[in-house]
Amino acid sequence: MFRYLSAAALAAAMVLPTLAQAEEPTDPNVNARHALMQLYAYNLGVLGGMAQARMDYDPELATEAATAIYHVSMAHADRMWPEGTEVGATADSRALPAIWENRAEFDAAAQALTASAESAMGSVGTDLASLQAALGGIGQNCSACHRTFRQPE
């Protein structure tokens, strides 16, 4: 029994430092910006579902989703991207150093999304074709920023 326990204790001692590293808490800024991105994806999923006829076209719900994307994009997110939170420097981040090398371009990419979401708010409720056009505009702004500023998986 004693020998079994000490072997277990030894095994635990060898494993624990690894566990401690794996469980390094995610920086609250990284968590917050992930939450913001998840809200984008959640609402974009509604527009995409209607555009691809996986859901019935519902003008009110479409307007609600576009409005949510607009408001999320206005969430004063500047603080969520402090220096030192790029990929590799902190847990769970896929933010590329390019963000801090070219902050003006990054901010402009965020503003482009706000602009396309604002115009989508007024058009996605008109008809399905308008929704599809607006979705294309928003989607392009998501991927343009990801291409330049997010580490591919």
Q: Could you list the residues that contact ligand HEC (CB under 6 A)?
A: 30, 33-34, 37-38, 40-41, 44, 69, 93-95, 106, 109-110, 113, 138, 141-142, 145-146, 149-150
Q: Which is nearer to ligand HEC, 6 or 38 (CB)?
A: 38
Nearest distance in Å: CB 6, ligand HEC: 42
Output 75 or 110, the one with its CB closest to ligand HEC.
Answer: 110
* Nearest distance in Å: CB 25, ligand HEC: 14
In the bound complex, what is the minimum distance in angstroms from residue 24's beta carbon to ligand HEC? Answer: 15
Residue 2 CB, nearest approach to ligand HEC (Å): 47
Q: Which residues 6+ apart lie within 8 Å of 106 measured at CB?
A: 81, 98, 99, 145, 148, 149
Identify which of residues 9 and 45 has a Cβ nearer to ligand HEC in the complex. 45
- Nearest approach, Cβ of residue 130 and ligand HEC (Å): 18
Q: Which is nearer to ligand HEC, 16 or 122 (CB)?
A: 122
User: What span, in angstroms and rounded, lies between the C-alpha atoms of 44 and 130?
Assistant: 15
Which lies closer to ligand HEC via its Cβ, residue 16 or residue 41? 41
